[in-house]
Structure 1
């Protein structure tokens, strides 16, 4: 069945189409790191869905009503009202984006040496937890680390693993449990409602805070609607409220689900947590009534929060991702299955089996894709995983992935067909793609600014 866009296009932005020679020069200047490419060197940009969505006419109109008061902005109260209506949390602390909220949460909730269990790591989340002295513990189910496993809820917490950690370390040594919905590093995989209830019960029994990374919670709600028994006739909006009721609070990057270009927030019900977060937001972000966001951006986010739970919108959004994924799967390209909600993840380890993981196969494949067609993607593997702080050795995740991230309301299926054609061409000549060596490595979050050079192929 054809799923058409539930919107019509009012304005267009011309796209650059760089030549092969221009692409060769660009990827060389960027040190084979797609993050370091200029946007005017890119044809189709699938680097991220963060801040790259197209805003609606109502969001643009709302920006004209922004109240830029330094304190007590009415735009803040509109955002607070929208968050209360859609998520169900009473209190909101704005931040400039999601990692600002992660930083504040880590500072107020983690004591050095405490564990922070989560359903697989996310790069910035773990970095903030570790900077605060926390120790990340992965308690996701084993299927999440297997690109070929077809579990419908690969983001689920392994409750037995979590219970064993609490038993071994003691509840007092658990800062909080952090559950991402969906799990980005596993391929955009959702968490079931039944699993959330189990984790909530365990945390309540031990007096442990349960926190949510709600960055792509609408996609998670949609997958519950589509895959979990008893939810087929429910609206995405009602499922989202039920999900959020399991948590003590959430961190949110509004640059994803909320359809805006900047902004994020912490949300919670507890007034003690609110007070502590409000004290730190003044130091790191801004006043509690803007927290690093302009009034116009809070207005756009408030409108986006309401638009994001429209059932027709989210069904089409996920359809686009699946359109790309199915084209690749049918062509024999190894991808993470089931296909997630925000991106298609190519399994670079299976795509380039002749390369050792220390030759950065996902990074090499992302660079090769740009060189072939001007399509920008990103690495999610050994480079993103970083180094173990105790041993200084590369962490070697089981998943070595290239992420093709689909911005919301931006590209058509025809654009995604161009991407699929390019990936298929590369797959046909995959053994000609060589590995990379790192020539510059920053101390943290190296995938953003690291630089590489060709290292040749590993022996077959």
Structure 2
């Protein structure tokens, strides 16, 4: 990639948020008090926050103006009907159930479709998605292609489904015991890797033969569509918006965290095509979220999301967003830092196994690397390894994922390219001193989603 492509962002800054600069001694104290878990840090003590791209985007002036048009009526908010019309226009789903964020939608779809003893195949797990599936009594089955588990392999669509793995699962457990296939557009745990339209069409054909639904995790569908436009033959002349519609048309429903593509700080929805499922879903949303015309959102948040969906498929926006991520990836590669290839769409994933070969997986190398990045330059990143993988629900043993990754997720429209260059310099310096990084032991472990609240001590 040519560095000249990143000379300027396609927007200007109207409002700023001051960043706090801390000393290394202060950061060492802060992370010690946080139990060596960056989730426990105060945001004020973080310089560059690459923990997540979820809910951290900068909204546009149109979105902020839309917030002032919030209709906070308990029932029938006009903002819901605007959101509903936008979802139908850009995604094509018939029915919309608003939720407080994506995991609210995951909870409802899992509760409706999963029964104990069933299996939910997917193109690699995501933490909250798998947790809801397991709490409903299901078992996740990974059907992603093997290339997705090889960080150094530069394969363009690592989010693809291995069709033979899916066939084998159907043959083993029976189609009646597979309530749906969970398909993520851009696979978070694989490094933000996209699925190709060609592969999704094959998955759709196979599932239709067996009467199995496809439920779409569409939080970053526009980013996936951009990668299809750039790298899949036959799509270079298609607008991102058209590719998004084509992706969604191959699925039966979707869970959406509006905190990603839709550029809002809170909110999500469940989208469905089946009327009977929709009627069941709105009964459940009243129990767990709120009335079916607001779910877990205020009217102003629904308005901002409707506008954000429109902005998410803007060609200049989506191109600049992903090129900034690729810019960070190139900087790290030039500095010798081992990362997941090819660079994904919402962040750069450092290969902690290759970065810290002297640490075993039980010494939590990815977690240790997040600590080193914070100590060195105040960067907050996220562990995506054994801590995130958790424990087997049947045996209680650690799940050992094939990759130990550290995600540097870039918020949309928040940081300048100079910030990105500085982040790369900090990571490269940590890499140059990598032999000084020691492992960790876990001293507190919560029952669910332990990576959020676990505490550690240095070995």
Provide the TM-score with structure 1 as the length reference: 0.98
State the partner residue of 1:416.
420
State the partner residue of 2:315.
311
- Distance, in Å, in 2 between the alignment partners of 1:331 and 1:12 is 30
1:376 aligns with 2:399: no
State the partner residue of 1:166.
170
Residue 148 of structure 1 and its aligned partner are, at CA, apart by 1.1
Aligned with 2:447 (options 443, 447, 459)? 443
Aligned with 1:2 (options 5, 8, 20)? 5
Residue 335 of structure 1 and its aligned partner are, at CA, apart by 0.2
Residue 2 of structure 1 and its aligned partner are, at CA, apart by 2.4
State the partner residue of 1:281.
285
State the partner residue of 2:302.
298
State the partner residue of 2:208.
204
Residue 373 of structure 1 and its aligned partner are, at CA, apart by 0.4
State the partner residue of 2:219.
215
Question: Equivalent residue of 2:403, what SS?
Answer: coil
How big is each residue's C-alpha offset from its partner over 1:188-229, in whole Å with a ceiling of 9 and x where there is no partner?
Answer: 000000001000011111111111000111110000000000
- Distance, in Å, in 1 between the alignment partners of 2:415 and 2:262 is 18
Instruction: Write out aligned runs for 1:296-445 (5 A).
Output: 296-445=300-449
State the partner residue of 1:121.
125
Instruction: Write out aligned runs for 1:92-111 (5 A).
Output: 92-111=96-115
Question: Equivalent residue of 1:204, what SS?
Answer: helix
State the partner residue of 2:59.
55
- Distance, in Å, in 1 between the alignment partners of 2:76 and 2:429 is 55
State the partner residue of 1:195.
199
- Distance, in Å, in 2 between the alignment partners of 1:166 and 1:2 is 46
Residue 8 of structure 1 and its aligned partner are, at CA, apart by 1.0
- Distance, in Å, in 1 between the alignment partners of 2:162 and 2:24 is 47
- Distance, in Å, in 1 between the alignment partners of 2:329 and 2:36 is 25
Residue 5 of structure 1 and its aligned partner are, at CA, apart by 1.1
- Distance, in Å, in 2 between the alignment partners of 1:8 and 1:417 is 19
- Distance, in Å, in 2 between the alignment partners of 1:421 and 1:171 is 50
- Distance, in Å, in 2 between the alignment partners of 1:125 and 1:295 is 26
Question: Equivalent residue of 1:61, what SS?
Answer: helix
State the partner residue of 2:181.
177
- Distance, in Å, in 2 between the alignment partners of 1:300 and 1:207 is 37
- Distance, in Å, in 1 between the alignment partners of 2:152 and 2:117 is 35
Structure 1: which 5+ runs fail to align?
456-460
Provide the TM-score with structure 2 as the length reference: 0.98
Instruction: Write out aligned runs for 1:8-19 (5 A).
Output: 8-19=12-23
1:30 aligns with 2:45: no
Runs of 4+ in 1 over 4 A off after TM superposition: none
- Distance, in Å, in 2 between the alignment partners of 1:342 and 1:252 is 16
| Two-structure CA RMSD over aligned residues (Å) | 0.6
- Distance, in Å, in 1 between the alignment partners of 2:394 and 2:99 is 31
How big is each residue's C-alpha offset from its partner over 1:316-352, in whole Å with a ceiling of 9 and x where there is no partner?
Answer: 0000000100011111110000000000000000000
State the partner residue of 1:249.
253
State the partner residue of 1:458.
none
State the partner residue of 1:21.
25
- Distance, in Å, in 2 between the alignment partners of 1:39 and 1:333 is 26
State the partner residue of 1:258.
262
How big is each residue's C-alpha offset from its partner over 1:243-292, in whole Å with a ceiling of 9 and x where there is no partner?
Answer: 10000010000000000000000001110110111110000000000001
- Distance, in Å, in 1 between the alignment partners of 2:56 and 2:22 is 20
